[in-house]
Chains A and B, each alone.
Chain A
Amino acid sequence: MTTNGTHPPPPATDAAHGDVFLELNDEGKAALADFAWVGEQYHRGAWAAHAGEYIAVVRRQVVGVGGDPAGLRERAARECGVPPGRVVVSYIDSPNDL
């Protein structure tokens, strides 16, 4: 993992709320955007057909569905030509899960 070293600069903050924001590189921002998109679509019911499975997402596209998250990530990374850490893999809760 890339970090900003042992002497981090003062964090970016939202002055009104004191929030601390990461200063992410482009890859980090892209992965977080995909993660946010998965959540948005979840709340729209877009993943209902995949309940109980994992989905893999890269650049706002579902690039795989399956039951093995590690294998799914590896396949998606290979097929999309991105590092495994760039693939958002999310478990879609099933009504049977408690």
Chain B
Amino acid sequence: MAKVRVEVRNHPLARCVGSESPTPFGLPFFRPSDAARVIARLPWYRLLVKVVVLPADADPLTRPVEIPETHSPPAILDTGAPLTCFPATLWRQFAAEIRWLDQPPREDGEPWRMTILGGSWTYRLGRVRLGATDINGRWLDAATTVAMFLDEPPAGASRPPRHAILGLRTPLLDRRRVRHAGTTPDDLPVWWLEDDIP
């Protein structure tokens, strides 16, 4: 059963391990019974999958022998997002591997836009071949994914997400599962993206 380790970011413990500084991450709140009003934090940690963009014409079972960082952006695993998207700062580095898809014009004549994380950005639709790896070089075989490739926003507009977003409908998740597998000795959570084999 192939699997890759999913990196956890923004966990409240992250800034505490090996550090005396208090963590700034997590949604702050007060427990109802706490008269001392000690700030508790609800984790909003992110799960990052290190995706690898392969050549569009690569054999389905191709495995890379090197992983250029330009082609291996961490992507937030977001099962609340239907589609995968890449900000321009990331996809421009592997633009040669994208097969662009035309879309019919919208009825109102406006460009197609996606709305996420409180912002709205124009995009082009395309396909890329994505595999996944982790810090130990584990590998999950690649799948072709339709994704939204965000345009660079005009000056003064809100900034798009810094990371790529791996949406629920990516075939990279087909017949695979995300599993929380306890914690490390430092109490950091361990997550896997793995084949779902009975």
Seen from chain A, the residues whose Cβ lies within 8 Å of a Cβ on chain B are 1-8, 11, 17-25, 27-29, 31-32, 35-36, 39, 42-45, 48, 51, 54, 68-70, 73, 83-91, 93, 95, 97-98
A90 to B137, CA, bound (A): 18
Among B21, B139, B163, which residue has its beta carbon within 8 angstroms of that of A48? Answer: B21
Interface stretch (choices B6-14, B78-86, B101-109, B169-177):
B6-14
Residue from B46, B66, B90 having most chain A Cβ neighbours under 10 A: B66
Report the separation of the CA atoms of residues A86 and B117 in the bound assembly, to the nearest whole angstrom.
31
Instruction: For A24, list chain B residues within 8 Å (CB).
Output: 64-67, 137
Which of B14, B67, B117, B141 lies at the interface centre, i.e. has the most chain A CB atoms within 10 A of its CB?
B67
B residues bordering A, Cβ < 8 Å?
1-3, 7, 9-10, 14-19, 21, 24-25, 44, 46, 50, 53-55, 58-59, 61-71, 74, 89-90, 92-93, 117, 133, 135-141, 162-163, 186, 188
The answer, among B3, B25, B59, for a CB contact under 8 Å with A6, is B59
Within 8 Å by CB of B63, from A8, A19, A27, A70, lies A8
B81 to chain A, nearest CB (A): 14
A31 near B21 with CB under 8 A, answer no
The smallest C-beta distance from B184 to any residue of chain A, in angstroms, reads: 9
Report the Cα distance A49→B130, complex, angstroms. Answer: 32
CB pair A18–B63 under 8 Å, yes or no, is no
* Chain B hits for A36, CB < 8 A: 135-136
Cβ contacts under 8 Å, A90 to chain B = 74
Nearest Cβ on chain B to A28's Cβ, whole angstroms: 4
Residues of A within 8 A of B17 (CB): 43-45
Query: Which one of A3, A11, A18 contacts B65 once the chains associate, using CB atoms below 8 Å?
Result: A3
Minimum C-beta distance from A65 to chain B (A): 14
**Beta-carbon nearest neighbor of A44 in chain B:** B18
In the bound complex, how far is the Cα of B89 from the Cα of A73, in angstroms?
A: 11
Can you add 16 more A-B contacts, CB < 8 Å, to A3-B62, A28-B137, A70-B92? A1-B53, A2-B64, A3-B58, A8-B59, A19-B2, A24-B67, A27-B66, A42-B14, A44-B17, A54-B162, A69-B90, A69-B162, A70-B93, A73-B70, A73-B93, A89-B69
Do A20 and B68 form a contact, CB below 8 Å, given A8-B61, A44-B17? no
